[in-house]
Amino acid sequence: MKIDLLGTLRKKNPIAFNISNFVTVQDVANGINALGASPIMSEEKNEAEPMVQMADSVTVNLGAFTEGQLEQISAVTTFANQYKKPIIIDPVAVGAVDYRKERCNELLDQIDVAVIRGNAGEIAALADVEWNAKGIDAGEGSGDLEEIAKKLAKKRNCVVVESGKTDIITDGEAVVRIYNETDLFKLHVGSGDMLSSTIGCFCGVEHDYFEAAQTATAVFDVAGEVVAKSMPKPLAGSFGVQLIDELHLIDTKTVEKYANFE
């Protein structure tokens, strides 16, 4: 794993264009800004082209899109392919709402994406595997998590990050697993959105998106673990704030020390 990509990210300060959702947009912007990227958000179709041109990566979060916004998402992602900017997709709740899955699949049919990051329920839905997703959460299922992630990676010819107790990262062939020590992430709505946008930042500085996704996930997971270790008792609100603090403070030595992966 190329943990020193964290240094590269901080040196380059990539512009991370995010189409976010109204629930978590501020955590996403502050999280990746603290990490060392330069976030910019937009919902306006008429500025899609210059936004994409100046960006190093484009992260599209499908958490709360409207019908009108689909046109903007389509324009942005088409320009991103044209200008060869990596696209990261966060398919929020596609396992729970068919309308979302259908729109997401239409989008994925139109464009090439670098990374899809979702929980097990979301990744299973896009991989056409039976699963009981629960709203924005992973829900329950009995399928093999690695096989599901690989199936989607092959189907969409991209890297898949399937988050959960163990984060599974695959390019369809190789698999890297990152083991998490704390589940405090679940206390903070938007942990997943922040992870997806963190992956976007690393894809903006590393063209090997499999490597970028691994480093991003390890940095993010370790940041959460460091916060959890420092808290005398789990506090949901403080966890969210301290996660942003730790994304600012974290260094490669800390990631090397605590990242548990194979």
Ligand X SMILES: Nc1ncnc2c1ncn2[C@@H]1O[C@H](COP(=O)(O)OP(=O)(O)OP(=O)(O)O)[C@@H](O)[C@H]1O
Separation between Cα atoms, residue 180 and residue 227, nearest integer Å: 13
Residue list, annotated binding site for ATP: 117, 163
Contact criterion met (CB below 8 Å) for 57 and 16: yes
E strands within 51-142? 57-61, 87-90, 115-119, 132-134, 137-140
Report the nearest approach of ligand X to the CB of residue 94 (Å): 11
What dihedral angle (degrees, nearest 10) is formed by the CA atoms of 104, 211, 167, 161? 10
What are the strands of the beta sheet with 15-19, ordered from one edge?
A: 38-41, 15-19, 57-61, 87-90, 115-119, 159-163, 166-170, 175-179
Q: Smallest gap, in angstroms, from Cβ of residue 208 to ligand X?
A: 21
| CA 46 to the chain's CA centroid | 25
Residue 43 or 137: the one with the smaller Cβ distance to ligand X is: 137
Cα–Cα distance for residue pair 52/78, rounded to 1 Å: 10
Name beta bridge partners: 117: 161
**For Mg ion, which is the closer residue by CB, 87 or 92?**
92
Interface pattern 203-242 for ligand TZE (x via CB under 6 A): ----------------------------------------
Residue 27 in the binding site for ligand TZE (CB under 6 A): no
For tokens 């988050």, what's the residue? Answer: 163
Q: Per-residue string for binding with ligand TZE, 142-161, x by CB under 6 A?
A: --------------------
Residue 28 binds ligand X (CB under 6 A): no
Structure tokens at 121: 């329920």
For ligand TZE, the binding residue among 56, 162, 167, 193 (CB under 6 A) is 193
Interface with ligand X includes 185 (CB under 6 A)? yes
- Mark residues 139-168: x for contact with ligand X by CB under 6 A, - for none: ------------------------xxx-x-
119 is a site residue for ligand X (CB under 6 A): yes
| Residues making contact with ligand TZE (CB under 6 A) | 21, 23-24, 63-64, 92, 136, 189-190, 192-193
